[in-house]
Amino acid sequence: TQLLEQSPQFLSIQEGENLTVYCNSSSVFSSLQWYRQEPGEGPVLLVTVVTGGEVKKLKRLTFQFGDARKDSSLHITAAQPGDTGLYLCAGPGVAAGNKLTFGGGTRVLVKP
Amino acid sequence: DAGVIQSPRHEVTEMGQEVTLRCKPISGHNSLFWYRQTMMRGLELLIYFNNNVPIDDSGMPEDRFSAKMPNASFSTLKIQPSEPRDSAVYFCASSRRISRAGWSKETQYFGPGTRLLVL
């Protein structure tokens, strides 16, 4: 079974600060996805990384896929209250098919 | 597009009652997923369908849970009889694989969820 572990589980910061969320596994993934989930809603895809060492930027969010494709990170620069939410990483399962395995999530609270 | 539609949004029921959750995927999507989310266990895949056919139901907790997809635009998740430990938020998601030469991409779009409380 492929597992994705996220850290930290919870992060509380002040507006304007930076933060980094990590997603780690002992298994190699062909790709990893990051989702953000706001209270009362379903997760929404932010980005998919597919190449080892890849870095993708989405405004103030920077996503990195590890060289060995076993880990990924999400860095938020100058966090804003609108960044508050549950951040989930997910990767495809080993078996054929389009099933995703999700990490446990990191709950981020950005205080104004 | 209306996105994935789930109903009801909230359900409160008593232990032993039957619960039916409904999902309408995005038109044109050929995969449908049912997830359950709790604070303790996070987001868990229960079952998924490709082209209306159940592919993997290994995440279904026990025989009290069943899912159907009679056509491409509708799916149900049924719990009978329900128990307090079934209390959770249940999400439906749909996707469509896009393939080009050398790469493919698939994004799951989640519905707003059904918040179930079994007393």
Structural tokens at position A76: 């938020």
State the maximum Cα–Cα separation within chain A, in Å, rounded to a whole number: 45
Contacts of A11 by beta carbon, 8 Å cutoff, 6+ apart: A19, A21, A106, A107, A108, A109
Which pLDDT tens digit goes with each residue over A58-99? 999 999 999 999 999 999 999 999 999 999 999 886 655 678
- Can you tell me whether residue B110 is helix, strand or coil? strand
- Whether residue A84 contacts residue A112, with contact meaning beta carbons closer than 8 Å, is answered with no
Contact B50 A45 (CB under 8 A): no
User: Does any CB of chain B come closer than 8 Å to the CB of residue A97?
Assistant: yes
How would you class A25 by CB atoms within 10 Å of its CB: exposed for 0-12, middle for 13-18, buried for 19 or more?
A: buried
Nearest CA in chain B to A43: B110
CA–CA distances in Å: residue A106 to residues A7, A9, B8, B20, B111: 6, 4, 27, 30, 20
B37 Cα to chain A: minimum distance (Å): 10
Q: Is the CB of A39 inside 8 Å of chain B's CB atoms?
A: no
Least Cα separation, residue A81 to chain B (angstroms): 21
Q: Are B89 and B111 in contact (CB under 8 A)?
A: no
Best of A100, A101, A106 to substitute, by most chain B Cβ atoms within 10 angstroms, is A100
Q: What is the pLDDT along chain B (119 residues), one digit of tens a residue?
A: 689 999 999 999 999 999 999 999 999 999 999 999 998 889 999 999 999 999 999 899 889 999 999 999 999 999 999 999 999 999 999 998 777 776 667 789 999 999 999 99
Residue of chain A whose Cα is closest to the Cα of B96: A98
Q: State yes or no: pLDDT of A28 exceeds 80.
A: yes
A99 closest CB neighbour out of B43, B45, B107: B45
Cα–Cα dist A33/A102, whole Å = 9
Is B31 within 8 Å of A105 when comparing Cβ atoms?
no
Q: DSSP letters along A23-56, please?
A: EE-SS--S-EEEEEE-TTS--EEEEEE-STT-EE
Q: What is the pLDDT of residues A77-87, one digit of tens each?
A: 999 999 999 99
In this complex, do A98 and B31 lie within 8 Å of one another by their Cβ atoms? yes
DSSP structural state of residue A94: S
* Token pair for A104: 């446990």
User: CA of B119 to nearest chain A CA: how many angstroms apart?
Assistant: 21
Residue A42 half-sphere exposure toward CB, CA atoms < 13 A? 22
Distance from CA of B49 to the nearest CA of A (A): 10
